[in-house]
Structure 1
Amino acid sequence: MVASIITSVVPYHIISYGTLLGTTFFHSFINGIVMFRTVDRPSFSAVQSKLFPIYFGMQTAIPAFLALTFPGNSLLGIKGGISGLLEAPNKWSSLVPIAVMFVSGLSQLAVLLPATIKTMKDRRGQAKRDGQEWYDKDTKSDEMRALNKKFGILHGISSLVNLVEFVALVGYGFTLAARIQ
Structure 2
Amino acid sequence: MSHILLTLAPYQVLTYGTLLGTQVFHTFINSILSFKVLERPQFATLQRAVFPAYFGIQTAAPVLLALTYPGSKNPFGVPSSLAGVFHPSNRWGVLVPLGTIFVTGLVNLTYLLPETNKMTDLRREQEKKDAKASYEKGAHSEEMAVLNKKFGQLHGISSLTNLITLIATIVYGVNLSSRLE
What range describes the TM-score normalised by the shorter chain of this pair? over 0.9
Separation in 2, partners of 1:115, 1:53: 13
Residue identity matched to 1:98: L
Separation in 1, partners of 2:72, 2:64: 18
- Give 1:1-181 correspondences, 5 Å limit: 2-75=1-74, 77-181=77-181
Separation in 1, partners of 2:35, 2:148: 17
Shift of 1:64: 0.8
Moved over 6 A (4+): none
Gaps of 5+ in 2: none
Query: Over residues 117-173 of structure 1, what are the superposed CA-to-partner deviations in whole Å (9 max), with x where a residue is unaligned?
Result: 000011111111112211222321111011011111111101111111111111111
Aligned residues: 180
Shift of 1:61: 0.5
Shift of 1:74: 3.2
Shift of 1:99: 0.6
What's the TM-score once normalised by structure 2's chain length? 0.96
Separation in 2, partners of 1:117, 1:50: 11
Separation in 2, partners of 1:77, 1:21: 27
Gaps of 5+ in 1: none
Separation in 1, partners of 2:94, 2:68: 12
Query: Over residues 31-88 of structure 1, what are the superposed CA-to-partner deviations in whole Å (9 max), with x where a residue is unaligned?
Result: 1111111111001001000000010000000111111111111315211111111010
